Structure 1
Amino acid sequence: MTELHKRPWLVLAGLALGVTVTNGFARFAYGLIVPAMQSDLGWNYAQAGWLNTANALGYIAGAVLTMVLIGRYLAASLFSFGLVTTNLALLSTGLVPDLWWQTLWRILAGFFGAMSFSTAGVLAAGLFANDPRRNALAIAIVFGTGGGLAIVVSGASLPLFLGYFGADHWPIAWIIIAAICALFSPLCLWSAAKLKRPAPKQADASAPLQLTQIWAQLAGYAGFGLGYIVFLTFLSAWMTQQAASAGFIAAVWVLLGLCICVSPFVWRPILARHASGLPLAMILTCISLGSALPVVFPGNISLLLAAIIFGLSVFMAPTAVTNFARQNLPAQSWGAAISLFTVVFAIAQTLGPYAAGLLGDLTGDIGISLLGASGLLLLGAVIALTQKPLPNRPTNPVEKPERNE
């Protein structure tokens, strides 16, 4: 028995912590720090949104490069390289306040983070290959618990830290985040080393992806990219606009992160059972509801409910498309398919933060942008619902296929 088979859950923990670094801290901690950066640096909503758009532009480039490299280099090597370089980008973000410097390192954090995030899904899909339920849970834990942990840690510390020491201490917040990521890195790199497999030979390459068969899943995932990032970018800014205290902002983010952490166990039965677009459609509907709820029904209770609904769903969208690829495509195609989904998602999410920031500046209310994002998410859900399982998809004797599809 190999060491991987002896300790698969420890290997999975390392992959999940990699997502904590490259997806949780590198992308979503910014939403907690941005009110302090706005206050200290005098930014408007468009400037604040631009930095997440810059991060998304880097994410596009990283996702495209990963799609090119995934068949030539080990997924584990790309994961490790992206992890280390993302950590360096986070550290650099706290060194210079100038907008050009912030733009540069937000781009690079997105670029390197995409390499690690895309390949984390590929590596997780290879765990428990003969057990669909455990496999679905493993993929969900990587994206859900991995990303949720960063939001719990960030939410429990950053608002209180910045509220106590002042907005001008935002550079220290980035340095603290980089230090935490450095502590996680050894286990992440160990897990990647245990999952190193020979790169696929050209002769073993699968047939090209049939985009006409998966367009609805791709379009639904694009809707996710357009909509979800607005909530995570501007939630703290909107709560600050509503005169919420630092303690309550921290509580909402901790609740959000905890719900993300447990979301894999909520969605596991649906993800394991359905090979169609139904799981993604259900997830997007819940994200849409969570994004709109605090604006339509203002108040602390509404914000707490929104954090629960949004948190239980948001990181399950990457899980849904990764699981869709695993259930419908041969193993040789997983890397290319997941990279393609990541590219589509990355392109879509570049538009969200900056457009939402502009709309917030024009209306003087960033809540309008949250409602717009909710509408885009709901549209994505409707489209994803039309995705059927692919014909001639790989079958597993343990797996129960869907009926009437």
Structure 2
Amino acid sequence: MPATERRSSAAERHPWLVLLGLALGLCITNGFARFAYGLLLPAMKAEMGWSYAQAGWLNTANALGYLAGAVATMILIGRISAARLFSIGLVTTTLALLATGLDPALWWQTLWRVLAGVFGALSFSTGGALAAQLFPDNPRKNALAIAFLFGFGGGSGIMLAGVALPLMLGWYGPESWPMGWILVGLACVVFVPLSLWAGESLRPPKTATRPAKASLPVLRMLPEIAGYAAFGMGYIVYMTFLSAWMTEQGSGAGLIASVWALLGLCLCLSPFVWRPIFARFATGVPLALILICIAVGSALAVVFPAGPGLAVSAVVFGLSVFMAPGAVTNFTRQNLTPASWGAAISLYTVVFAVSQTIGPVAAGWLGDATGDIGNGLLWAAGVLSTGALVALAQRRIGDDPI
């Protein structure tokens, strides 16, 4: 059997294993590359004497890199297959994470946070399009696959990092933060082989004719796009400053690790919560509901900053946050032709990348100005709530699902 045929049938023979590989890829580019920084931030801030604005800048630098990577994906998606971009992003993101722990200088940290964003966007932007190809004749399984990709993919990374990194810092002290980046990078090395195989399984045969590009009905997608922009601006504040907020409230390493582990566990479970909603609605309703839940979770951490309140916050936030990418991917699949899926998801990723560059610095500035980073978390909750109202205006595109 030719190699191209083996590749095309692997996803049919082992679709769940392929999905697991894709999800582990997002564990690398989303769970580790994007959010391990929030766990290491208090130690890095203390060791380097950063302000909240400086600490927020590194996540903004990562977001700027992510924006560059998302734009690059939009340009390259018509020339290079989604599977190849996915694989390139995995390998380079792993190298960037390993390099982050080698030098504490701000310029070095900025460089690798930017590059982790660039490379991570290549895989994140294409992972959804690849997962949308699984179970093409079963809408319920397809909805679960998309939800699983983002929920388990990001959630497993946060759960693993959330358990290990705070305990490591508590045991070895804040000066051990470089070791944290090395451990994260080594975990990526373990996950990469299966993820590369999964992406290769969905690469089209070389003899396949590339489908013609389809135009996007951008004006008819505006409420969904605007809601996703609010998601990008708001969610990142919680992920960036939760540990810093808990540290300010006197939380110890054990409580911080427990809350992050609970957050990661709920992220892993979130696909099963939202699958029925994804399968039922082809409008902006799923995204609106998700944004409201994220807003409530963000606010609860400030209003009830003790252990029980933080636990509830982690559950509400965790069961919702990574379902926002799943919501727009599901909306894309149900309303647009397959030829336009890659371009549509890349557009959402660019909008998301632009908006999330604002969140960390704005919240950090508000925290510095008021002396309370909790105000930044409340501001983010307001942004997310506004986005939910806008997303509700999104209607179905066309009379029938595609």
- Cα deviation, 1:175-207, whole Å, max 9, x if unaligned, reads 0000000000000011111111148856x3243
1:302 corresponds, among 309, 312, 315, to 309
1:394: how far off? 4.1
Q: Which residue of 2 aligns with 1:158?
A: 165
1:66-81 equivalent positions in 2, closer than 5 A:
66-81=73-88
Aligned to 2:34, what secondary structure does the other structure show?
helix
- Cα deviation, 1:243-285, whole Å, max 9, x if unaligned, reads 0010000000000000000000000000011000000000000
1:2-151 equivalent positions in 2, closer than 5 A:
2-151=9-158
Give the aligned residue type for 1:67: M
- Cα deviation, 1:364-385, whole Å, max 9, x if unaligned, reads 1000000000000000000000
Aligned to 1:208, what secondary structure does the other structure show?
coil
Give the aligned residue type for 1:297: F
Cα distance between partner residues in 2 of 1:340 and 1:152: 29
Cα distance between partner residues in 2 of 1:107 and 1:242: 30
Unaligned ranges ≥5, structure 1: 396-405
Cα distance between partner residues in 2 of 1:244 and 1:207: 52
Give the aligned residue type for 1:385: L
Give the aligned residue type for 2:235: Y
Q: Which residue of 1 aligns with 2:197?
A: 190
Check whether the contact 2:214–2:339 (CA below 8 A) recurs between aligned residues: no
Check whether the contact 1:14–1:190 (CA below 8 A) recurs between aligned residues: yes
Check whether the contact 2:366–2:376 (CA below 8 A) recurs between aligned residues: yes
Unaligned ranges ≥5, structure 2: 1-5
Cα distance between partner residues in 2 of 1:314 and 1:27: 14
Q: Which residue of 2 aligns with 1:216?
A: 223
Q: Which residue of 2 aligns with 1:325?
A: 332
The size of the alignment, in residue pairs, is 394
Aligned to 1:361, what secondary structure does the other structure show?
helix
Q: Which residue of 1 aligns with 2:3?
A: none
Check whether the contact 2:43–2:177 (CA below 8 A) recurs between aligned residues: yes
Give the aligned residue type for 1:20: C
Cα distance between partner residues in 1 of 2:347 and 2:10: 31
- Cα deviation, 1:287-321, whole Å, max 9, x if unaligned, reads 00000012123321111000000000000000000
2:262 corresponds, among 255, 264, 278, to 255
Q: How large is the RMSD of aligned CA atoms in angstroms? A: 1.2
1:150-299 equivalent positions in 2, closer than 5 A:
150-198=157-205, 201=209, 204-299=211-306
Check whether the contact 1:74–1:198 (CA below 8 A) recurs between aligned residues: no
Give the aligned residue type for 1:87: T
- In percent, how many aligned pairs have the same letter? 62
